[in-house]
Structure formats: structure tokens, C-alpha cells
């Protein structure tokens, strides 16, 4: 038997805790998911990162990134291996992820103090819909416990932007940063500045494209695109502004290769349009089309970390 608590009920029962954000993103086409957690403290986030990585379950990678704990996983169920932690030092792991219509069910196990994180901390985050507890659930001390945390099904959307400025005024990274910060749709995740070929003849100064990512519900995507398009239209100084839209957790390899090559190769707009069409990238002409190369490349480079901000010789 189980009992169910809403976030406000968890807070009332255990007192205020520390989880500031908890998003479950899924990419059902590729069978993968990503859990993003924002914690009030660096210490708990680092401890959870190490323990979730150790226990495996359905997790394939866990890391700290941009002030967030990011957990890559497969959709399904896996075996937890607490390893040297066990009852001596505790442990925490994600055993299963299941998509149920518009919701995602994640099954967590915790030992000792880790049971507080899965039983009281995450469940009271406003992003959670409800948490299901077994009747014998006990928190903290030497207890081991498991819960099912149910959250809205979210997807990742990357919006690339290029050619919003002129030699006299404007900066594309500022435009996209403001757009992401002011967007009323979904949750802003990351902002990237993508360095492209500094020898491009039509560049302004730095030859940089930019992109932002959001966690949104499927039905929110049209509203997100509409907001981004109109925001950039109002903010741009250029007659050649383009935005691009990509949905998913895995950027196709061909798109990544194109993005990386844009740091050293000079392409034509039709090359970028072809790559976009072949790799599920929507191209939107805001005021023109010359920005399409950078806007497509920004999506391709989005998951490259620091490499996105540099050119090949920076990493030789």
C-alpha cells in the first residue's frame, strides 16, 4: 500500500528543505531522459552527484553543470549498485523512469541520510506533482527507503539565434540572453555563446552565434517559438536575422559536425538549410536569411561545453 503527498503537504510534514528546481526531460524517440535539479547548497548537490553516479540504476552520467545537477538516464529500469556506500555511508540512486502520458514517474532509493533527499527535499519542490510513499516509509537515521516522484513530462528545446547586430550596435548573445530570461514559457536551462569562423566576410566583430535551451511541455512549444520569434524581431538591428528550433536531448552527429566545422569552414546559406532539414532543425526567417549558418551551427555546438566558445586551435 502507498500514500500520496503533494509538495505543500511534504513541506508541512517535514519542514522547508532545499530543492529549488526539479525537471524531468524525456526524449522518447531516443529512449533517453535527463533530470535537472537545482539545489540551495553545493555540498548536497556534489554528494548526490557522486552517489547517483556510483549506484548507476538507469543513470548513464551525472555531473554538475551551470549551477545545476544534470543526470542523463535511459527510460526503463535498472539495477542499483550502492557499492562501498551501503549501510556504512548511505547512498542514493534512481532505479526507474517511466513515461505515463503527460507525466513522468521516477523511482528513487535512499539509504540513511540520503532518504531525506528523496523523501522530503525533492518531493516538496513546486515542480513536482506528487510523491507516492510506501506505508512503512521512514526517513533519515539508518533507514533505507524508496519513493516514486511524479513530475510533468518535459522536453528540451534549443533555440539558436544569429545575425541580430550591426557593426555599430547590438550583440546576438545579449538578445538571446534577454529572450531566455524574459520568456514566460517553460524553464530556462542554459545559454551559450558559439564562436564561429573569425574569417567570415559578413561578420560584425567576433563572429559569434548564440543559443538558449528550455524545458517545456510539448503543448507549450508553439507558444515558446512565437515568443522567441517576436522578441528577437523587436530586438534585432539586422535585416538578416534567423532563429532555429531543435527539440530533443541528443543533437545528431551530422549537426554537431557541421557546427564544429563552421569554426573553420566558410559555408553558404543553402548548406546550413540542407543540414537543418536533414537533422530536424526548424529554420525561421525573422528579418532575412543570412543568419541561418550561425543559427544552425549554434544548435550543433550547443552540447560541446567550453568547445562551443572557442575555435579548433584553442583545443589543440
Give the up-direction half-sphere exposure of residue 303: CA atoms within 13 A in the CB hemisphere: 16
Residues 311 and 305 sit within 8 Å (Cβ to Cβ): no
Question: Which residue segments constitute the domains of the chain, with CATH numbers given?
Answer: 2-152 (no CATH), 155-315 (3.30.70.2200)
Residues 112 and 140 sit within 8 Å (Cβ to Cβ): yes
The label of the residue with cell 559578413 reads 202
Single pTM value for the model: 0.93
CA distance 127 to 116: 18
Cα dihedral 34→38→42→48 (10° resolution): -40
CA distance 316 to 299: 23
Q: How many CB atoms lie within 10 A of CB 76?
A: 12
Q: What is the pLDDT of residues 131-169, one digit of tens each?
A: 999 998 888 666 678 899 999 999 999 999 998 876 667
Q: What's the pLDDT score for residue 82?
A: 78
- Give the pLDDT band (50/70/90) at residue 172: confident
Q: What is the pLDDT of residues 266-278, one digit of tens each?
A: 999 999 999 999 9
- 3 state SS of 17: coil
Amino acid at each position: 500500500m502507498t500514500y500520496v503527498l503533494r509538495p505543500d503537504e511534504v513541506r508541512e510534514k517535514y519542514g522547508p528543505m532545499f530543492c529549488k528546481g526539479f525537471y524531468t526531460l524525456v526524449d522518447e524517440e531516443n529512449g533517453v531522459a535527463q533530470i535537472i535539479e537545482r539545489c540551495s547548497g553545493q555540498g548536497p548537490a556534489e554528494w548526490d552527484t557522486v552517489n547517483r553516479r556510483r549506484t548507476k540504476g538507469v543513470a548513464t552520467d551525472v555531473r554538475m553543470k551551470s549551477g545545476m545537477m544534470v543526470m542523463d538516464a535511459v527510460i526503463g529500469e535498472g539495477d542499483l549498485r550502492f557499492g562501498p556506500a551501503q549501510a556504512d555511508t548511505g547512498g542514493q540512486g534512481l532505479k526507474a523512469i517511466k513515461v505515463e502520458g503527460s507525466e513522468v514517474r521516477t523511482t528513487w532509493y535512499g539509504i540513511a541520510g540520503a532518504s531525506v533527499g528523496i523523501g522530503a527535499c525533492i518531493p516538496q519542490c513546486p515542480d513536482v506533482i506528487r510523491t507516492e510513499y510506501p506505508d512503512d516509509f521512514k526517513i533519515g537515521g539508518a533507514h533505507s527507503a524508496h519513493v516514486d516522484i511524479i513530475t510533468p513530462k518535459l522536453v528540451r528545446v534549443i533555440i539558436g539565434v544569429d545575425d541580430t547586430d550591426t557593426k555599430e550596435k547590438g550583440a546576438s548573445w545579449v538578445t538571446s540572453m534577454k529572450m531566455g530570461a524574459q520568456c514566460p514559457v517553460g524553464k530556462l536551462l542554459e545559454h551559450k555563446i558559439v564562436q564561429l569562423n573569425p574569417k567570415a566576410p559578413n561578420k560584425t566583430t567576433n563572429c559569434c552565434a548564440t543559443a538558449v535551451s528550455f524545458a517545456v511541455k510539448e503543448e507549450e512549444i508553439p507558444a515558446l517559438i512565437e515568443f522567441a520569434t517576436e522578441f528577437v524581431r523587436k530586438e534585432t538591428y539586422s535585416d538578416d536575422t534567423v532563429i532555429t528550433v531543435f527539440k530533443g536531448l541528443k543533437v545528431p552527429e551530422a549537426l554537431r559536425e557541421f557546427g564544429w566545422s563552421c569554426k573553420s569552414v566558410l559555408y553558404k546559406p543553402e548548406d546550413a538549410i540542407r543540414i537543418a532539414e536533414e537533422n530536424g532543425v526548424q529554420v525561421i526567417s525573422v528579418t532575412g536569411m543570412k543568419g541561418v549558418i550561425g543559427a544552425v551551427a549554434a544548435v550543433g555546438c550547443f552540447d560541446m561545453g567550453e568547445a562551443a566558445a572557442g575555435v579548433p586551435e584553442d583545443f589543440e
